[in-house]
Amino acid sequence: DTAVSQTPKYLVTQMGNDKSIKCEQNLGHDTMYWYKQDSKKFLKIMFSYNNKELIINETVPNRFSPKSPDKAHLNLHINSLELGDSAVYFCASSQGPSGGANRQFFGPGTRLTVL
- Of 38-67, which residues contact other proteins (CB under 8 A)? 40-45, 48, 55-56, 58
Q: Which is nearer to other proteins, 74 or 92 (CB)?
A: 92
Out of 5, 7, 77, 106, the only residue in the binding site for other proteins (CB under 8 A) is 106
What residue ranges in 8-115 does DSSP mark as E strands? 10-13, 19-25, 31-37, 43-50, 53-57, 64-70, 73-78, 87-94, 105-106, 110-114
DSSP 95-110: SSSSGGG---EE---E
Of 1 and 14, the one with the shorter C-beta distance to other proteins is 1
Length of the chain measured in residues: 115
* 25 binds other proteins per the rule CB under 8 A: no
What residues line the site for other proteins (CB under 8 A)?
33, 40-45, 48, 55-56, 58, 88, 90, 92, 97-100, 102-106, 108-109, 111
